[in-house]
């Protein structure tokens, strides 16, 4: 057996450089680049391997471990989970900074490989710099925190352990039913230890993502369930996008007059203007989708996790006899809501069901078109200027028009995901709608936009971020400048966390701790003057082109002027607080206090208890 004597880190680099994925006969290199921030836990290990070994991996210099992890996740999401950027960090805070990114990836079912440095396997220099000593077990390190947020975790305490760890890591990353974050912790001494690795471990390896068809019995159950329904509703989840099942879903819907609504992950897979497309559903959904959902007698989720925002905390579906069916490659998700579980690939499953449906038609008449038209008129109203100030919804409409058919919008948290799910008109079938809402990770919007631009360098990318999110994690703006990646950062400045302030105000609170105010010297409370920040100036200091805008005309002019630069651009958009879209007949279960000195809070709690009686229990 031929072998090569390499360090653990060198073998890892060569292994990653030779991983490929095959889908529907198309072979793609799974790893083309790597993110890293070097510290003493990795610079002389993985850093040495990247610098001196012969490989084809492009190294990208991250600026914050969480932010580079989010950028890598966004890259994989935009690539439909068929390519990844592993993330290397040092030990201690560098490693634990990536825990949030790993959680975000796992919540969204997106592959992310994190490679944190770790303390010495020999334990001889312990405690080393940045080591947290665990009093109950000297064998445990801070990297054990990854176990709670990763689909697979391993620690390489011997060089030869890399082989089984690496194979299992890629196994999980390429599995559509099991994917998420994967962590391989690398003790810094083991990174430099040598071993005679077999050549077959280092050679090209192709992972086959074979589609999983339905059994005949599954098709029969699905057809029987759908044929018995009078008013079914399809919900388009992210699995439809990753499986590339849009045409099959549309064929089923059109043939049998079945309306469909979209989750955040599924939006943009099918034409927005289609006569059966009701738009977003649930807490951030449209009035049309939510009204149809309340009367549906069969809800068919395709590639969705049925999160609380999609189901409006299991409250949305008010038909007394409503049933659920779930088409999903992951059994864990397919059985939610006590659904009829149809486990398989969405593209194959929808095609098989469509082929077997016969002449069935739903009982829908004019209500789909009527509700769509009513909400179209509401969307037009939202785009209009308000009497005083600059509304957030008008700004969203202007940016959408400028982005056109090919511009990619990226968002994650705050009130903007609701505005986008209801208002944004993405290009048809072009993966131009990219919103992370499984973890709603503040900071993803800005840093994820970097990952999307890396994945789609020839497209315009628009990061939609609030001032709160911007302040939280602007790290990779430096990387955008460094890599000459022109991202349009659309910063909506409403002087606080406007989405949470709205939630707070609607449940008896008084903007406590949610608005960016100075501390009042007399009362000691955060109730002084509003803190004014020139975000455009801040962006210019990093090398951005930047504009401050206060109305629609200024925003249009700034967007057009920015065409002339090849730099990344920030638009500091001063919007009217509270000018986001409404809830449109949805409800969200939040933990309002059962006892309080505030009458407004008690009233809000009574409202929660009333709606809980209408929420389904599973």
Over residues 558-570, the pLDDT tens digits come to 999 999 999 999 9
Give the pLDDT of residue 397: 98
pLDDT at 233: 98
Q: How far is the C-alpha of 424 from the C-alpha of 379, rounded, in Å?
A: 10
Q: What share of the chain is helix, strand, coil (3-state, %, to 5)?
A: 40, 20, 45
Tell me what pLDDT residue 616 has: 85
Q: What is the pLDDT of residue 427?
A: 84
In angstroms, rounded to a whole number, what is the distance separating the alpha carbons of residues 378 and 260?
A: 20
β-pairing, 433-435 with 19-23? Answer: unpaired
Residues 529 and 142: their CA atoms lie apart, in Å, by: 41
Residue of 402, 426, 410, 420 lying closest to 557 (CA atoms): 402
What topology does CATH give the domain 3-208? Rossmann fold (3.40.50)
Q: Which residues of 224-255 are buried (b: 16+ CB within 10 A; e: fewer)?
A: ebbeebebbbbbbbbbbbbbbbbebbbebbee
pLDDT tens digit sequence for 227-248 = 999 999 999 999 999 999 999 9
In CATH, which of 3.40.50.970, 3.40.50.2300, 1.10.10.10, 3.40.190.10 is domain 383-495+532-574? 3.40.50.970
Dump the DSSP string for 219-286. HHHHHHHHHT-SSEEEEE-HHHHHHT-HHHHHHHHHHHT--EEE-TTTTTSS-TT-TTEEEE-STT--
Kindly give the parts of the chain with pLDDT less than 70: 429
* Angle separating helix axes 346-356 and 246-256, nearest 10 degrees: 20
Second-level CATH architecture of 216-371: 3-Layer(aba) Sandwich (3.40)
Please give the C-alpha separations between residue 139 and each of 144, 187, 434, 608, in angstroms, as whole numbers.
10, 12, 40, 46
Could you tell me the pTM of the whole model?
0.97
Chain segment 28-70, per-residue pLDDT in tens? 999 999 999 999 999 999 999 999 999 999 999 999 999 999 9
Instruction: State the pairing for strand pair 433-435/408-411.
Output: parallel
Dist. CA 319–CA 263, nearest whole Å: 20
Q: Do 280 and 261 form a contact (C-beta atoms < 8 A)?
A: yes
Give pLDDT tens digits for 432-476. 999 999 999 999 999 999 999 999 999 999 999 999 999 999 999
What are the domain boundaries of the chain?
Answer: 3-208, 216-371, 383-495+532-574
pLDDT at 393: 97
Q: What is the pLDDT of residue 429?
A: 64
pLDDT for residue 99: 98
């Amino acid at each position: 057996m031929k072998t090569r004597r390499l360090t653990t880190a060198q073998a890892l680099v060569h292994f990653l450089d030779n991983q490929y994925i095959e889908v529907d006969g198309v072979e793609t290199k799974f790893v083309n680049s790597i993110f890293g921030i070097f510290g003493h836990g990795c610079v002389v290990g993985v850093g040495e391997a990247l610098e001196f070994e012969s490989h084809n991996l492009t190294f990208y210099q991250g600026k914050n471990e969480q932010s580079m992890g989010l950028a890598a996740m966004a890259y994989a999401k935009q690539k439909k989970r068929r390519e990844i950027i592993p993330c290397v960090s040092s030990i201690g805070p560098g490693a634990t900074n990536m825990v949030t990114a790993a959680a975000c990836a796992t919540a969204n079912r997106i592959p992310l490989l994190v490679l944190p440095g770790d303390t010495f396997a020999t334990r001889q220099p312990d405690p080393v710099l940045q080591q947290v000593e665990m009093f109950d077990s000297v064998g445990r390190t801070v990297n054990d925190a990854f176990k709670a947020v990763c689909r697979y975790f391993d620690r390489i305490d011997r060089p030869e352990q890399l082989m089984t760890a690496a194979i299992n890591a890629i196994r999980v990353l390429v599995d559509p039913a099991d994917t998420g974050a994967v962590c391989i912790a690398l003790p810094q001494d083991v990174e430099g230890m040598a071993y005679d690795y077999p050549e077959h471990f280092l050679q090209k390896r192709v992972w086959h993502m074979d589609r999983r068809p339905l059994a005949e019995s599954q098709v029969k159950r699905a057809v029987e369930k759908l044929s018995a329904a009078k008013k079914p509703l399809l919900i388009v989840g992210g699995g439809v996008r990753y499986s590339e099942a849009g045409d099959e879903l549309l064929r089923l819907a059109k043939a049998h007059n079945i309306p469909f609504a979209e989750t955040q992950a599924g939006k943009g897979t099918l034409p927005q203007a289609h006569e059966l497309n009701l738009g977003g559903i649930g807490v951030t959904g449209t009035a049309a989708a939510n009204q149809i959902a309340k009367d549906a007698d069969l809800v068919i989720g395709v590639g969705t996790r049925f999160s609380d925002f999609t189901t409006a905390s299991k409250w949305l579906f008010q038909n007394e006899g409503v049933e659920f069916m779930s088409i999903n490659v992951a059994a864990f998700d397919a059985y939610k809501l006590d659904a009829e579980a149809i486990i398989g690939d969405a593209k194959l499953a929808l095609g098989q069901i469509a082929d077997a449906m016969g002449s069935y038609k739903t009982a829908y008449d004019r209500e789909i078109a009527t509700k769509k038209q009513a909400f179209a008129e509401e969307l037009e109203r939202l785009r209009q200027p308000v009497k005083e100030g600059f509304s957030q919804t008008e700004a969203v409409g202007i940016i959408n028009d400028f982005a056109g058919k090919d511009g990619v919008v990226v968002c994650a948290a705050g009130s903007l995901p609701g505005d986008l799910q209801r208002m944004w008109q993405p290009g048809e079938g072009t993966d131009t709608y990219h919103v992370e809402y499984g973890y709603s990770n503040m900071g993803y919007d800005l840093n994820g936009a970097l990952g999307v631009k890396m994945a789609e360098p020839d497209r315009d990318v628009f990061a939609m971020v609030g001032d709160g999110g911007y302040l939280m994690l602007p790290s990779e703006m430096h990387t955008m400048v460094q890599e000459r990646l022109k991202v349009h950062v659309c910063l909506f400045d409403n002087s606080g966390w406007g989405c949470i302030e709205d939630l707070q105000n609607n449940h008896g609170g008084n903007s406590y701790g949610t608005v960016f105010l100075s501390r009042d010297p007399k009362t000691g409370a955060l109730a002084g003057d509003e803190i004014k920040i020139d975000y455009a100036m801040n962006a210019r200091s990093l090398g951005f082109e930047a504009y401050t805008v206060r109305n629609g005309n200024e925003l249009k002019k700034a967007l057009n002027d920015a065409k002339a630069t090849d730099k990344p651009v920030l638009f500091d958009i001063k919007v009217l607080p509270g000018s986001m879209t409404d809830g449109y007949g949805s409800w969200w279960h939040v933990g309002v206090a059962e006892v309080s000195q505030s009458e407004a809070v008690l009233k809000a709690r009574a409202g929660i208890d009333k709606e809980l009686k209408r929420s389904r229990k599973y």
